[in-house]
Amino acid sequence: MRLSARWLAATLAFLFAAPVPAGETVKVGAVFSLTGNAAAYGTQQKAGVQLAVDEVNKSGKLPGVALEIVLEDDGTNPQQGISVFDRLINLNKVSAIIGPTLSTLAEAADPRAQAQKTPVVAVSNTKPNAITTIGDYIWRVSLTEAQVIPSAVAIARQKLGFKTAALLYGNDDAFTKAGFDVMKSALEKSGVQILGIQTFSTKDRDFNAQLTALKGLKPEVLLVSALVEQAGSIAVQARQLGYTGPIMGGNGFNSTKFIQLAGAASEGVLVGTAWNRASTDPVNVAFIAAMKARGTEPDQFAAQAYTGVMVIADAIRLSGGKGTREDIKAGFAKVKDLPTPLGKFSFLPDRDGDHPAAVQIVKGGKFEILQ
């Protein structure tokens, strides 16, 4: 039976006039320190975000929706952070932003997002009583130092039995200053005597004077709040000066670059962590395997950034597949017990993250969970 030319033309016209919708692309900004003093963290965050976006888009978790990452470098510089936030919000029209890497930059840039009603997911900002207080569009995946350090100090004290301590911290950075405040409070509340406190700036590389002064006080443990570049040098110089006691770091130590920088001096260093690398949870195991397959040995910062994307994807799902700024913000409030490499993740009423924490120790050149 022959089809009439008129019928065939009408059929083709219908098909081409009513194509299957191509779906929606939701743009998500990612602002990380890819250069500057915090680049070791930003590189891991970039890898974690890229893996998560690829997995979400391939999984079919968001039918008809594809995530697109617009990556920016904050240069570990507050003014640059503000500039890239403005560009993402006003030019790229992103639906949400992940980052920036450091709390200092978040305090500078997040108010721009709040003013423009653009949701932000902080994946590595750990300053307590800050960040989320900027406004109701600011949400945090990363546990604060106040959520991690007290339990880490308690576990370490139980294992090591120390009664005296000394403190060294960077006093010109919001992240390291906040870490020090929590360390000092945790030691005081646990009855540990603080024998001495020394400070440095983020530009310093010679810490011999501070470490010599603290070593002379004979503390049983040395607690340090520093970014990774300084953390590596501090560990090396402390051992060179003959300090043989345990060193416990803040969140700035949670990078494989610390081990690379400190070498043998990193052995035995303790650090509270928001990511239990040793967890046998299938989501965590799959995350580590996928990162390694891409040539990256993941650290806490990669796990947190990966989780940030998963939280945004779940917020879109919970909003019925809608990816506007308001939809994503509304979806965040519904995220509950989301499986992630960090464990089951939920937001607290104050928009801070909630999931288990742990304590790591460096053994054989690798981070292990302190048992």
CATH number of the domain where residue 264 is located: 3.40.50.2300
Residue that terminates a domain, selected from 273, 306, 323: 273
Residue 135 lies in a domain: yes
Q: Please, which pLDDT band fits residue 101 given cuts at 50, 70 and 90?
A: very high
Q: Rounded mean pLDDT of 302-324?
A: 97
| Residue 169 sits in the same domain as residue 243 | yes
| Residue 284 sits in the same domain as residue 264 | no
| Residue 36 sits in the same domain as residue 82 | yes
Model confidence at 6: pLDDT above 90: no
Q: Rounded mean pLDDT of 72-94?
A: 98
Q: Please, which pLDDT band fits residue 357 given cuts at 50, 70 and 90?
A: confident
| Residue 247 sits in the same domain as residue 267 | yes
Boundaries of domain holding 295: 24-143+280-356
Residue 17 lies in a domain: no
pLDDT tens-digit profile of 217-265? Answer: 999 999 999 999 999 999 999 999 999 999 999 889 988 999 999 999 9
| Residue 334 sits in the same domain as residue 236 | no
Model confidence at 323: pLDDT above 60: yes
| Residue 300 sits in the same domain as residue 216 | no
Residue 371 lies in a domain: no
| Residue 195 sits in the same domain as residue 78 | no
pLDDT at 9: 38
pLDDT at 251: 87
pLDDT at 153: 93
Neighbours of 239 (CB within 10 A): 18
| Residue 286 sits in the same domain as residue 336 | yes
pLDDT tens-digit profile of 112-147? Answer: 999 999 999 999 999 988 899 999 999 999 999 889
Between CA 25 and CA 170 the distance in angstroms is 42
Q: Rounded mean pLDDT of 25-40?
A: 96
Average pLDDT taken over every residue of the chain: 92
Neighbours of 274 (CB within 10 A): 26
Q: Give the number of domains in the chain.
A: 2
Q: How many residues does the chain have?
A: 371
Model confidence at 5: pLDDT above 80: no
pLDDT at 356: 85
User: 80: exposed, middle or buried (C-beta count within 10 Å: 0-12, 13-18, 19+)?
Assistant: buried
Residue that terminates a domain, selected from 246, 273, 300: 273
In degrees rounded to 5, what are phi and psi of residue 172? Answer: -120, 20
